[in-house]
A = this chain, B = another copy of it.
Amino acid sequence: MVSRLELGFLPILGTVTEACPPGEAESTMVLLGVLLSLVAIFVASKAGGEFANWLGFPPVLGELLGGVIIGVSALHLVVFPEGGMDSSHSLIISILETTAGLSPDAAEATFKSQSEVLEILSELGVIILLFEIGLESNIEQLLAVGIQAFIVACIGVVVPFVAGTAGLMFIFHVPVIPAIFAGAALTATSIGITSRVLSEIGCLSTQEGQIILGAAVIDDVLGILILAVVASLAKTGEIDIANIIYLIISASVFIVGAIVLGKFFNGTFVALASQFKTRGRVVVPALILALLLAYIGGAIHLEAILGAFAAGLVLDETEPGKELEELIKPIADVIVPVFFVAVGAKTDLSVLNPAIPENREGLIIAVFLIVVAIVGKISAGWGVFGLDNLNRLGIGVGMIPRGEVGLVFAAVGSASGALSPALDVAIILMVILTTFLAPPLLRIVFKTETPSPSTETT
């Protein structure tokens, strides 16, 4: 007799599964876990986004907060293994055990597989976001502000890095390697959050918007270089020059190559899209290019999102490009929030608890880091020259959010063992605060000068 519980092992039609040995993930259960997680993510993103919008904040802030609520800090609906979480911490896994007959034997493996899928979906989300931002951006306009963007990026990297590292060493007597790590974390800029907010308030195509975007892209490349330097420093105590030269060359070749090959890609895309007759004739070729460039960006140890952004830039100007902008919208509406909610879900607010001694020390250092983080980036806004009537404060504020990029520095630092728990807490707090403060600040700063259009988009 097949018992009720064993039925959970019965392969549901539509999934080719084989008999599952205990301890392995059941592919049906992984699917159900992903479905339920996506339901939670969409509810959080929509509820948070609408609520934030109603309060006058950018929707993305609400999505991040929605993520915090369903994530590791509160409901534990969507948690990821990286923070030491296992299946017993995941509410989704408990629900699967109760309602779908997931066997406790397979819980851990199912949790891991499900988290992996969500992780990749969230990364596909930020890839699609940057592709869409690329489509909305104008390559000529971006090149026109190239020098300004470069200067903004450099100031925004050098000032926080030097001030942060020096301050930690001389005020807080932090040893040199962890101080450099923390300084490096201060240099990051989250293109995702900044560009999404700019797009939401209709400022992406303004001169300020393009400078911020360009600077954030350059900052990203600089960030990769800094991370490579810092990581090798923490690991071996010395700097690998060959590696850094390799990264600089590959970054330059990639970005210039993508722009130069732009016209060729564009022609092919237009020709294909106009020849094709079956469904997805515009959107599929465009995504092929976006994912291919994302792959190349990742494979040469740059970033996947830079490739997707380049693809969007390149496809921008064409006739099918305009159609594409409309078609990519519903796709982005669905996949992009997965990224922001996941960032929120991973944010552990327990570092705010002053009852833990390390947190107290961390909170004090955090205040210093936050001040440096904000002042350092705002100062970058005044590096722009030769352009009048510019919202310099807006540019600086646009560079503030560290987002997921800052968390990478913290994670690498923690993993290398270089960071003390207090410093780790301080960096995470700095990342959280800059990430969550920037969207409302950005809206305020741009509202005072630009008559922003209605944020109502479908």
Contact = CB atoms under 8 A, between A and B. Distances in A.
A277 B236 contact: no
A375 interface: no
Count this chain's copies in the assembly. Answer: 2
A107 interface: no
Interface of A: 1-2, 4, 7-8, 10-19, 25, 27-28, 30-32, 34-36, 38-39, 42-43, 45-46, 49-50, 53-54, 59, 82, 96, 99-101, 113, 116-117, 119-120, 123-124, 126-127, 188, 220, 223-224, 227-228, 231-232, 235-236, 238, 240, 242-243, 246, 275-285, 287-288, 291-292, 294-295, 298-299, 301-305, 327-334, 337, 346, 404-405, 407-408, 411-412, 414-416, 455-458
A243 B4 contact: yes
Contacts of A407: 16
A456 B11 contact: no
A215 B13 CA distance: 16
17 contacts: A2-B232, A10-B231, A11-B408, A12-B302, A12-B304, A13-B405, A14-B123, A14-B405, A34-B120, A34-B124, A45-B284, A49-B279, A53-B278, A100-B298, A280-B330, A284-B337, A327-B330
A14 B305 contact: yes
Residue in A54, A231, A333 whose Cβ sees the most chain B Cβ within 10 Å: A333
A456 B277 contact: yes
Contacts of A283: 330, 333-334
Nearest to A27: B119
A345 B262 CA distance: 32
B235 A2 contact: yes
Contacts of A126: 14
Contacts of A455: 277-278
Residue in A119, A236, A416 whose Cβ sees the most chain B Cβ within 10 Å: A119
Residue in A328, A412, A414 whose Cβ sees the most chain B Cβ within 10 Å: A412
A407 B15 CA distance: 9
B282 A458 contact: yes
B227 A301 contact: no
A116 B113 contact: yes
Contacts of A82: 16-18
Contacts of A457: 278-279
